[in-house]
């Protein structure tokens, strides 16, 4: 499954294919960040289910949700676009199909 999306401001766009995430500049089209979810755990069945952009501490970050059919668990990850890595991950004992966040006062 391919999912192509962008935020409403057009700063970034992203392409999610299974466990792979690629992030592109909305103005130049150049790839700015990428990550393969599940690679560190050697789980080839990990699949990205949802991506949301958020401004956290003045920087754009992606909230990426994944699920793994082999373990029936999910991850909610904070992906830093500047350094192209996961800066926080929360494992939940359920499949994560969507996310929505409200950041008040950050």
φ, ψ of residue 50 to 5 degrees: the values are -160, 140
Q: What is the pLDDT of residues 57-69, one digit of tens each?
A: 888 899 999 998 8
Task: Provide the CATH number for the domain around residue 67.
Answer: 2.40.10
Residue 105, pLDDT above cutoff 60: no
3-state secondary structure of 93: coil
Whether 50 maps to a domain, the answer reads yes
- Give the percent of the chain with pLDDT over 70: 83
pLDDT on residue 65: 92
Q: Stretch 77-81: mean pLDDT, rounded?
A: 93
Whether 104 maps to a domain, the answer reads no
Q: What is the pLDDT of residues 18-71, one digit of tens each?
A: 899 999 987 888 899 999 987 776 777 889 999 988 888 888 899 999 998 888
Parent domain of 54: 2-92
Burial class (CB in 10 A: 0-12, 13-18, 19+), 60: middle
Whether 23 maps to a domain, the answer reads yes
Provide the whole-model pTM: 0.81
Whether 97 maps to a domain, the answer reads no
Whether 80 maps to a domain, the answer reads yes
Provide the domain count of the chain.
1
């Amino acid at each position: 499954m391919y999912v192509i999306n962008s935020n409403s401001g057009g700063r970034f766009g992203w392409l999610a294919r299974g466990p792979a995430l690629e992030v592109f500049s909305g103005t130049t089209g150049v790839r700015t960040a990428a990550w393969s979810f599940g690679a560190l755990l050697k789980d080839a069945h990990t699949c990205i289910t949802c991506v949301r952009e958020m401004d956290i501490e003045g920087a754009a970050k992606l909230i990426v949700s994944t699920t793994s059919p082999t373990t029936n668990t999910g991850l909610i990850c904070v992906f830093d676009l500047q350094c192209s890595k996961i800066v926080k991950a929360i494992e939940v004992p359920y499949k994560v199909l969507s996310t929505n966040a409200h950041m008040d006062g950050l």
